[in-house]
């Protein structure tokens, strides 16, 4: 009897510990797209060599996406789609800042990004940093990236990475994301609704 009670209380204790741990865990991780506290946060170097944080873009909506300059298909396609969205905004384009964040810090120096990102027009800012800065940024945005060995690629590797396009509001709070492959026309229509609201 006493033993059963001890076991029962131990189980309660464990449950409390587990609950506390999970609460701490979610709190410290700051949630993710489902969490109202999810916001854009970064300190990186832009393609002109300037240190940038989300505060530099305060008051503007941010379209944020991740990629790498050696990516021949998905990344240029996303850059082209974002450029098309920005063109479609006409006079509202100034209210939105598109940001391309590299997840390949080894190859994507600011100089390498300067020779790639501006070619797409639309004032897209390329951001990169040290491997640690990029890891921290990816953590903050809850995105995933990994090196994939590919003998034929420059440097012997390519990257796998989260490819959605994120929208953050004028106070840097998360608004929504669109999966890769969403048509620019659809993104533009959604974005215009948010800008008008």
Partner 1 sequence: MNRIAMAALAALTAAAGLGPAQAGSEDVVVENAWARATIGTARPGAAYLTLRNAGDATLTLTGVAASAAARAEIHRSVTDEKGVSSMMPAGEIAVGPGTSVALEPGGLHVMLMGLRSPLDEGDGFELTLTFSDGGEVAVPVAVLGIAARGPGG
Q: Per rule CB under 8 A, is residue 152 in the interface with partner 1?
A: yes
DSSP 8-state secondary structure symbol assigned to residue 39: B
Q: Which stretch binds partner 1 (CB under 8 A): 4-12, 43-51, 72-80, 186-194?
A: 72-80
- By C-beta, is 3 or 179 nearer to partner 1? 179
Listing DSSP states for 66-135 in one string gives EE-TT-SSHHHHHHHHHHHHHHHTGGGGGGEEEEEEES-TTT--HHHHHTTGGGG-TTPEEEE--HHHHH
Instruction: Check whether 75 is labelled as a binding-site residue.
Output: yes
Q: Per rule CB under 8 A, is residue 77 in the interface with partner 1?
A: yes
Classify 177 as helix, strand or coil: strand
Q: Which stretch binds partner 1 (CB under 8 A): 1-9, 13-21, 126-134, 173-181?
A: 173-181
* Cβ(142)–Cβ(32) below 8 Å: yes
Binding residues for partner 1 (CB under 8 A): 69-74, 76-77, 79-81, 83-84, 115-116, 119-121, 144, 146, 148, 150, 152-154, 158-164, 177, 179-181, 184
| Residues flagged as binding site for Cu cation | 71, 75, 161
């Amino acid at each position: 009897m006493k033993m059963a009670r001890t076991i029962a209380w131990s189980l309660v204790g464990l449950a409390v510990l587990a609950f506390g741990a999970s609460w701490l865990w979610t709190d410290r991780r700051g949630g993710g797209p489902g969490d109202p506290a999810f916001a854009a946060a970064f300190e990186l170097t832009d393609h002109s060599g300037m240190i940038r944080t989300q505060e530099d873009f305060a008051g503007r909506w941010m379209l944020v996406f991740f990629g790498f300059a050696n990516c021949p298909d998905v990344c240029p396609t996303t850059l082209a789609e974002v450029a098309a969205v920005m063109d479609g905004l006409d006079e509202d384009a100034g209210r939105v800042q598109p940001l391309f964040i590299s997840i390949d810090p080894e190859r994507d120096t600011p100089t390498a990004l300067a020779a790639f990102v501006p070619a797409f027009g639309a004032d897209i800012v390329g951001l990169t940093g040290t491997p640690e800065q990029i890891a921290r940024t990816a953590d903050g945005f809850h995105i995933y990236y990994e090196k994939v060995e590919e003998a034929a690629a420059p440097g012997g590797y390519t990257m796998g990475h989260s490819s959605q396009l994120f929208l953050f509001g004028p106070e840097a709070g998360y608004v929504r994301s669109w999966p890769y492959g969403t048509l620019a026309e659809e993104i533009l229509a959604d974005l215009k609704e948010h800008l008008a609201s």
